[in-house]
Structure 1
Amino acid sequence: MRVYIGCGGYSNEDWAAPGLLYEGVRKDDYLATYAAHFDAVELNSPFYAIPGLKAFEGMARKSGGHTRFAVKLNKVFTHDRAPTDADFDRMLQSPEPLREAGLMGPYLAQFPYSFHRTAANRKYLLGLAERFAGHELAVEFRHTEWDKPEVREGMAEHGLLWVSPDYPPAGGLPEPQLHATGDVGYLRLHGRNAGSWWEGQSAAERHDYRYSRAELDEWAQKIALVAEDLSELYIFFENTTKGHALKNIPTLREALNAHGVPVATPDPAQRSGEDRLL
C-alpha cells in the first residue's frame, strides 16, 4: 500500500508565522516549498472557482512532480447541486495537466451536513457517479444517516470511494472508522474541537485542534489492519489552523512505521535539488 499524506490546502497564510513552513517564503513559492515536504495535497480552491488549464499546469510545474493532487469538486456539485454540462466539462477537463504529469489523485465531493440520505439525494449521487465514471471520486458525508454498510456496498458497486472522516464527538456525525469501498482509501482528519464544530464562526476556528500521539497511534493501528487490502491510501489533515497539521504529519508517519506500515519522509534538500534539474 502506497500512503500519501498531506494537508487540506497549501496556501495557508498563517503558516508564515515564525517557526512554521512558510516563514520568509514568498507566496509564489508556497507550493514548491510545500511539495518539498509533503507528497499529497487536497486542493480547496476549485470548490469556490474551478481553475483553468493554465492554473493546473502551473501547479504541476511548481510541485516539481512530487505531490499528488486531490481536487475538491466545486460547490455547484455538492452544495447547490445544480451543475450544468459546462460545469461538468470544466471540472473534468481542467485538471488534465495533472493527469499528464501523473499527479492526479481522486476528486473529492464534500457534501454538507444538510445532505440527508433521501431518495432524491441518492438519485443525485448516482447521477454524479455516472458523470465521473472513469475517474476516482471520493465522497464525504457529514450526516450520520449515510454511515451504514449498505451505503458503502452501493458506493462500491458504482465505483465511488468512501471518505473515512475523523470528526469531533459532536453528535450526528459519522463514526471515526476506516472503511474502503475499493482498493483506494481516503481519510480526512478534521480534528476533535467539539466546542467549536457547530458554534465556530469559521473553518479555521472549527479546525483549531492538534492531535495527540495517542490519537494518531489509534489511527495508525486502524490503517495497519487494512494495509493488505488497499493499493493506495490518501490521508489529509484538515486541522491546518496555526500549523497543527504540520506538526501532526511527522507524528503520524512515525506511528505508521512503528505499526509496520512503511511511510517515507520526503527529503526537502533532495527535492529542491531535483527541481533545479527540471
Structure 2
Amino acid sequence: MKIYLGTGGYSNEDWIGLLYPPGTKKTDFLSVYSQHFNATELNSSFYAIPGLKAFEGMAKRVESRTRFAVKLHQVFTHTRNYTDDDVARMLQSPEPLREAGLMGPYLAQFPYSFHRTAENRRYLWELAQRLEGHEVAVELRHGSWDKPEVREGFRETGLIWVSPDYPPLGGMPEPQLHASGHVAYLRLHGRNRETWWEGSSAAERHDYRYTEAELAYWADQIAALDPGEVEEVWVLFNNTTQGHALANIETLRPLLEARGLDPARPGQGDRLL
C-alpha cells in the first residue's frame, strides 16, 4: 500500500521555527512543506476555488513530491446550492495537478447538521453523479451515516469513505478505519472535547496532540487493511495548531514502520521536532 502522510493545509504561520525556517516567505511555505510530506489537503478551495494559474504554481512548487486532496467548495457541502458553473470550475481548475500526476481525491466535508435523511441521501447521490469519473472522499460527521449499508453504498457508487477521529463526545462516527474501495482515507482532528463545540475558532477546536498510544491504535488499523484491496492510504492530520500535526506525524512514522509499512518521505527533509 502507498501511504500518503500530511496535514490539512500548509499555510500556518505558527509553524515558522518548527517546519519553516525563520524568515521564510509565505509564498515559499509549500516548497518547504513538500520536502517533508507527500500529501496535503487544500483548504483554500473550500472558500474560493483557485484558478488554473494558482494550481500551476502549486504543481511547480512541490516538484512532483506532494499530492493534493482538494476540498470541495462550501456550495457543495454546506449551502448546497451549487450551479453548473461551480461544477465546471471545481473540476477544471485543478487540471495542472492532474497533468503533473499530483491530483488526489476531492474531499467533501459535510457538517454535523447533515443528517442521514431521505433528502440528504438523494443529494449525496446526485452530487456523486455530477462528479462521476473523479475520486471523491466524503466525510460525514453525523453518526447516523456510520453504518455498514452506507459504506456498501459508497462502494457501489465509487465514493471514498472518510474515517475520522473526533473527540469522544457521542453522536459522531466511531473511530474505526473503513475502506469502501481501493483508497482508505483517515482524517485526525484531535480529541479536544472541551473546545470541539465551544471553541471560538478552528485553532482552538484542533488544539490537541495525540499520544503515542492513541496513534498506535491507528497504526494497527492501517496495518490490518488488506493490501490486495486497498492500494492507497491517506492519513491527514488536522490538529495543526501549535505544530501538533507535525509532531504527531513524526510519532506515527516509526509506528507504521514497526508494522512493516513504508511511510516514505518525499525528499530528504530533516526529521522534525
TM-score, scaled to structure 2: 0.96
Equivalent residue, structure 1, for 2:194: 195
Pair 1:164 & 2:183 matched: no
Q: CA RMSD in A?
A: 1.2
User: In structure 1, how many angstroms separate the alpha carbons of the residues matched to 2:267 and 2:168?
Assistant: 36
Task: Summarize the alignment of residues 236-275 of structure 1 with structure 2, pairs less than 5 Å apart.
Answer: 236-268=236-268
Shift of 1:262: 1.7
- Which residue of the partner structure matches residue 209 of structure 1? 208
Q: Partners of 1:224 and 1:66 in 2: how far apart?
A: 24
| 1:172-221 per-position Cα deviation (integer Å, ceiling 9, x unaligned) | 11100000110111100001101110111111100000011111111000
Which residue number corresponds to residue 273 of structure 1?
A: none
1:13: how far off?
1.3
Gap regions ≥5 residues in structure 1: 271-278
Q: Could you tell me which residue of structure 2 aligns to residue 142 of structure 1?
A: 141
Match in the other structure for 2:47: 48
Give the drift of 1:224: 0.3
Tell me if the contact between 2:65 and 2:267 (Cα under 8 Å) persists in the aligned partners. Answer: no
How far is the alpha carbon of 1:261 from its aligned partner?
1.3
Structure 2 counterparts to residues 1-278 of structure 1, below 5 A: 1-16=1-16, 18-228=17-227, 229-268=229-268
SS at match of 1:188: strand
Distance 2:87 2:21 in 1: 34
**8 Å contact 2:31–2:61 — kept in the other structure?**
yes
Q: Do the aligned partners of 2:142 and 2:172 also contact (CA within 8 Å) in 1?
A: yes
Unpaired segments ≥5 residues, structure 2: none
Shift in Å at residue 22 of structure 1? 4.5
Q: How far 1:171 moved relative to its partner?
A: 1.5
Task: Tell whether the 8 Å contact from 2:115 to 2:144 is kept in structure 1 after alignment.
Answer: yes
Return the structure number with greater relative CO, CA threshold 8 A, min gap 6: 2
Which secondary structure state, in structure 2, belongs to the residue aligned with residue 41 of structure 1? strand
Q: Secondary structure at the match of 1:196?
A: coil
Structure 2 CA distance for partners of 1:126 and 1:22, relative to 1, 3 Å: farther
Contact 1:15 1:23 in 2 (8 A): no
Q: Report the identity percentage.
A: 66
Tell me the CA shift for residue 250 of structure 1.
1.3
TM-superposed deviation, 1:170 = 1.3
- Taking the aligned partners of 2:260 and 2:253, their CA distance within structure 1 comes to 11
Note if contact 2:18-2:243 (Cα within 8 Å) is conserved in structure 1.
no
- Is the contact between residue 210 and residue 245 of structure 1 (CA under 8 Å) also seen in structure 2? yes
SS, match of residue 197 in structure 1: coil
1:77 and 1:2 map into 2 onto residues whose CA distance is 29
Q: Which amino acid aligns with 2:267?
A: D
Verify the 8 A CA contact 1:227 1:261 in the aligned structure 2. no
- Whichever structure has more helix as a proportion of its residues is 1
1:166–1:144 Cα change, 3 Å:
same
Task: Check conservation: 1:78, 1:110, Cα contact below 8 A.
Answer: yes
Say which SS state the counterpart of residue 185 (structure 1) adopts.
Answer: strand
Offset of 1:91 from its aligned partner? Answer: 0.2
How many equivalent residue pairs? 269
Moved more, 22-31 or 141-150: 22-31
Distance 2:18 2:31 in 1: 18
How far residue 21 of structure 1 moved from its aligned partner, in angstroms, is: 3.1
Shift of 1:269: 5.5
Give the whole-Å Cα distance in 1 for the aligned partners of 2:200 and 2:93. Answer: 32
Contact 1:183 1:231 in 2 (8 A): yes
